Every structure is written in C-alpha cells, then in structure tokens.
Amino acid sequence: MSDVNGTTIGDTSGLTSTVVFRLGTLGTVVTDRFTREIEGLGLKPKHVGLMAALSLAAVASQQELAARMGVAPSLMVSLADHLEGLGAVRRVRDPRDRRRQVLTLTEEGQGLLERCTSVARTLDEEFVAGLTEKQRKALDEALRVMADRAGLP
C-alpha cells in the first residue's frame, strides 16, 4: 500500500522511520499536552524553560539567557515581562553595568516551577507507561547523550 507520494506505508526506509521524524512528532504531541496542562497557570513552555534556566543559575542577564535558550533577545524581554507580571522573576539592573538586566527566580517562581515539574512527571509516567524499567533507563540515557551532543543543558 502506498500514500499519495508513492511511499510505501510501513516502509522502514521512509521518512517516518527516521529518529528525527519520530522525535519531532512525539515532541509535538508532548509539547501540546504539556502546554494544555500549564496554561491554567498562565504559562507557556518557553516561560517554564526560562524559569528552569534561572533555577540552574542563581543570577543571569537577559542577554545570557537568550543565548542559552537559543531565543531572540526581544522574545526574552517578552518572556521576562510576563513572568515578572506573575511575580515569578525579579528583574534588576546590574550595578556594575547599568545596560545589563539581571533576572532571578522568586519564591513564587520556584513554586510555579515545582508545579510544572509535577505536571511534567505525571506526563512522563503516561508516556513511558508501556516501557519496561530497562527500556526507561535506556531511553533516559539515550536522550541525555543526544542532549549533550546538541549542547543542551
């Protein structure tokens, strides 16, 4: 059986058999689910990513965070504005360099991040429910290696 492009459905040599396609598709499904779960908190995944980055570094400039997260500085400003409005981050000028805006995670932000972590762990359990413990460990290790190679934290 073939699809409209003539590719054999179930063909293990086609696009749908590639790691990139499968990870991308799963990533979309997971991101959609996570997004729906956190929207009641007034957050989107990039907000959570920023809070997670701040939790790893006590203090960081908006410019450093934009580079670390791979987003445009203008998006970082928008993300920080939103989180500051929620009381999740504190933004102050660096006394040594007045051009530099420094962000820190507040206690409220830490609480929001913990709630998002709980949501993510619940979704983790749903998505890996069909895997054995050995498969879960192998998946975790494979994802860790791939993230390291991609330069992700």
43-56 confidence digits (pLDDT tens): 999 999 999 999 98
The CA–CA distances, whole Å, from 49 to 23, 80, 153 equal: 19, 11, 11
Nearest to 59 by CA among 85, 92, 81: 92
The answer on pLDDT for 118 being more than 50 is yes
Helix (H) or strand (E) holding 37: helix 19-38
The answer on pLDDT for 1 being more than 50 is no
The CA–CA distances, whole Å, from 152 to 112, 142, 149 equal: 22, 14, 8
Question: pTM of the prediction?
Answer: 0.83
Distance CA 139, CA 68 (A): 25
Rg (CA), the chain: 19
Other CB atoms closer than 10 Å to residue 119's CB: what's the count?
19
**What pLDDT sits at residue 128?**
96
Task: Look at 5 and 81; give whichever has higher pLDDT.
Answer: 81
The answer on pLDDT for 112 being more than 50 is yes
Structure tokens at 143: 């994802």
Segment 56-111, tens digit of pLDDT:
876 678 888 888 888 999 999 999 999 999 999 999 888 888 878 889 999 999 99
Do residues 76 and 21 touch, judged by C-beta distance below 8 A?
no
Distance CA 124, CA 128 (A): 6
The residue-averaged pLDDT of 37-43 equals 97
The CA–CA distances, whole Å, from 29 to 12, 14, 26, 122, 125 equal: 22, 21, 5, 15, 15
